């Protein structure tokens, strides 16, 4: 069985829209590109044909991945998100003991992860370690640069 994937309502809609676009628009575009490349003749040395077939394989792979993701997705509802301990959907403010700075992250499912926007996956080392923690808890996160120590300052929706 595939891993359960958590997504927001907006994230789910975004994945559905991407799937629809790939199925209705991109498939047709790549089919036309393949047809055009075939018209050039010998397929054994036809780089346009090879390129179009590779793009088709990438599109079909992404479609399959999106279908599995949507099938296994659990849509997070704000009313179900609690703030007594860290879970997917929470915003968490933490204190980095080494840098003496506060950092804030939203814990999201892997499909919505965007560290630049402060959205970290429940699968990344920090996200995984934060899950289940409460305000005041101290954690150690193993990173490529060594162990980083944090304290949970606040948990919100």
Q: Say which CATH number the domain at 95 has.
A: 3.10.50.30
On whether both 28 and 93 belong to a single domain, the answer is no
Residue 23 has, within 13 A of its CA and on its CB side, a CA count of 11
Between 130 and 10, residue with greater pLDDT:
130
Residue 20: closest CA among 59, 56, 54: 59
On whether both 70 and 87 belong to a single domain, the answer is no
Asked which of 49, 75, 101 is the last residue of a domain, the reply is 75
Between 44 and 86, residue with greater pLDDT:
86
Asked which of 75, 108, 127 is the last residue of a domain, the reply is 75
On whether both 42 and 65 belong to a single domain, the answer is yes
Task: Give the chain's domain count.
Answer: 2
Which pLDDT band holds residue 12 (cuts at 50, 70, 90)? Answer: very high
pLDDT for the residue numbered 2: 60
On whether both 52 and 91 belong to a single domain, the answer is no
On whether both 67 and 128 belong to a single domain, the answer is no
What is the C-alpha to C-alpha distance for residues 127 and 120, in angstroms, rounded to an integer? 6
On whether both 90 and 39 belong to a single domain, the answer is no
CB 30 within 8 A of CB 62: no
Least-confidence region, from 21-25, 38-42, 64-68, 96-100 = 38-42
Average pLDDT over residues 57-80: 92
On whether both 56 and 123 belong to a single domain, the answer is no
Element (H, E) at 141: strand 138-143
Q: Assign residue 45 the CATH number of its domain.
A: 1.10.287.180
On whether both 61 and 98 belong to a single domain, the answer is no
pLDDT for the residue numbered 143: 87
Range of the domain at 111: 78-156
On whether both 102 and 147 belong to a single domain, the answer is yes
CB atoms within 10 A of CB 152: 19
Max avg pLDDT among 37-46, 55-64, 141-150 = 55-64
SS3 label, residue 26: helix
Computed over every residue of the chain, the mean pLDDT equals: 91
User: Which ranges of 22-124 does DSSP label H, i.e. alpha helix?
Assistant: 27-38, 47-71
pLDDT for the residue numbered 1: 52
| Predicted TM-score (pTM) of this structure | 0.75
- pLDDT of residue 20 exceeding 90, the answer is yes
On whether both 30 and 19 belong to a single domain, the answer is yes
- pLDDT of residue 3 exceeding 80, the answer is no
pLDDT for the residue numbered 145: 87
On whether both 111 and 124 belong to a single domain, the answer is yes
Calculate what percentage of the chain has a pLDDT beyond 90.
73
How far, in Å, are 5, 21, 88 from residue 71 at the CA level? 9, 18, 18
| Residue 100 Ramachandran class (φ > 0 left, ψ -120 to 50 alpha, else beta) | left
């Amino acid at each position: 069985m595939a891993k359960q994937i958590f997504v927001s309502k907006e994230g789910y809609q975004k994945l559905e829209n991407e799937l629809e676009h790939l199925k209705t628009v991109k498939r047709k575009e790549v089919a036309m590109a393949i047809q055009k490349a075939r018209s050039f003749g010998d397929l054994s040395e036809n780089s346009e044909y090879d390129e179009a077939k590779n793009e088709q394989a990438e599109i079909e792979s992404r479609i399959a991945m999106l279908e599995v993701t949507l099938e296994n997705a659990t849509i997070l509802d704000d009313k179900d998100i609690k703030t007594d301990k860290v879970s997917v959907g929470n915003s968490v403010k933490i204190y980095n003991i080494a840098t003496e700075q506060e950092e804030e992250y939203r814990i999201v499912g892997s499909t919505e992860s965007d560290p630049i926007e402060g959205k970290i996956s429940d699968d990344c080392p920090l996200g995984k370690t934060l899950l289940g923690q409460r305000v005041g808890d101290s954690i150690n996160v193993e990173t490529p640069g060594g162990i980083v120590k944090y304290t949970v300052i606040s948990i919100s929706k």
